[in-house]
Amino acid sequence: MKFNYIAVTKSGFRVNGSVESTSENEVLRMIKSNGYLPVSIERDIESEAKFEILSKKVKKKDLAVFCRQFYTMLDAGINIVNSLDILSAQTENKTLKKAISDVAENVQKGVTLSEAMKMHPKVFPTILINMVEAGEVSGNLDTILERMAVHFEKENKTENKVRSSMVYPIVLMIVSVVVVIFMLIFILPTFVGMFEGSDTPLPLPTQILIGLSDFLQSYWYIFIGIVALLVFGITSYINSENGRRLYDGIKLKLPIIKGTTAKIVTSRFTRTLSTLMSSGIPLLRSMEVVSRVVNNKVVEDKLISGIEDIRRGVPLSRMIKDIEIFPPMVDSMVKIGEESGALDDILLKTADFYDEEVDVALTRLTSMLEPLMIVFMALIIGFIVIAMYLPMFEVINTI
């Protein structure tokens, strides 16, 4: 967070300045440590909002590269500040570049690396901040950063697979809409001229298509406006808390995709929990972090309520079984890990298994969606063709 402050020196001169800090109390301590008398401290909301609007999103790939390079430099004996300066100079993502530069500046002032990262919650994920904090306490920050590099690389790989599996259905859907609009605007009117010369009444499907064709030709701007409003409205609702919860719930219940969604959530849950616990972060704290990174609001809610059960003494394996989200294999594997004392290793093996399962599930999902989309496209175009030719049959029958 950025704060603007006004202070007075011992000589009575007025000093204005701004500083990045985690809280107003930190700024107050900094001003007093310089021997100044604080007059006012205000959070710079406007600059933060402007930066957030102009910011380019930091992807998992960017974070993976950041952690990998940071680890390499620390392992080579370069200190944290110099490593951050080098990373800031060579990072291409402007948002991450500015954040690293601010972190380096604050670390140089005496702030810990994890505290400096907390000042940029939109850039550095909760899991990375917690892992860095654990690395600072245990003294193995370089090892932690290597683990986080592997973690973000795996996350990036999974996200790319999900996106790739959806490219073909989306492209096919767009092509279907374009073909239908083209037929209604350019092909159908040529047939209408043929129908107007006859006294034969037009069938209902043909009348519907002609009405749509006339609407698109005369009021195309209204059509574009309706589509834009629908897209904006649906997107805004999905980005809201209730909308996200409904959308994520549908993904877990819809027959075609529920199995794939559960496997993706399982892979992310087991890998993240394994990474946190293997770094010495307590189970309850690890679960709090994991609940925020599973990227599914319904699962997040159930994990948060499950944390309370763990706090009351319920084993993790029992909690996983009770929330009824993960496949049956997961609670069995976790139970073995609890009994053997190697929970982090078992979770990692489970994550590797479900990574492979996600690959198979996404391939199967794509192979199922392709014929469904083709059939859908064929039905729409078939309806248009039949509606255009029905009047011809009526004319022939009349003759």
Neighbouring C-beta atoms of residue 323, cutoff 10 Å:
17
What pTM does this model have? 0.71
Residue 43 sits at φ, ψ, to 5 deg, of -75, 135
Residues 6+ apart with CB under 8 A from 63: 96, 124, 125, 128, 148, 152
Backbone angles phi, psi at 70, to 5 degrees: -60, -45
DSSP class of 55: P
Residue 364 neighbours by CB distance under 10 Å: 13
Q: Which amino acid is at 377?
A: M
CA distances from 289 to 119, 157, 235, 274, 307 (A): 17, 21, 26, 12, 11
Answer for the pair 250, 237: CB distance below 8 angstroms, yes or no.
no
The rounded distance, in Å, linking the Cα atoms of 318 and 337 is 13
Superfamily of domain 60-154: Type II secretion system (T2SS), domain F (1.20.81.30)
Q: How many Cβ atoms sit within 10 Å of the Cβ of residue 158?
A: 20
Question: What is the DSSP secondary-structure string of 87-121?
Answer: HHHH---HHHHHHHHHHHHHHHTT--HHHHHHT-T
CA 332 to CA 340: how far, in whole Å? Answer: 12
Q: Where are the domains of the chain?
A: 2-54, 60-154, 159-398
Q: Give the pLDDT of residue 50.
A: 47
Name beta bridge partners: 326: none
**Cα dihedral 342/295/166/179 (nearest 10):** 170
Residue the block writes with tokens 């309806």? 383
Q: Which of these, 30, 42, 52, 60, lies nearest to 6 by C-alpha position? A: 42
**Each residue's pLDDT expressed in tens, for the chain with a length of 399 residues:** 667 778 877 777 777 777 766 567 777 777 777 777 777 777 665 555 444 444 557 888 999 999 999 999 999 999 999 999 999 999 888 899 999 999 998 898 888 899 889 888 889 988 899 889 888 888 889 999 998 999 899 888 888 888 887 787 788 888 888 888 888 888 777 777 666 666 667 788 888 888 888 888 888 889 889 989 999 999 999 988 889 999 999 999 988 888 889 998 999 899 889 988 888 888 988 898 888 888 889 999 999 999 989 999 999 999 999 988 899 899 999 999 999 888 989 998 999 899 888 888 888 888 887 788 888 888 888 888 888 777 777 666 665
**CA neighbours within 13 Å on the CB side: how many for 27?**
24
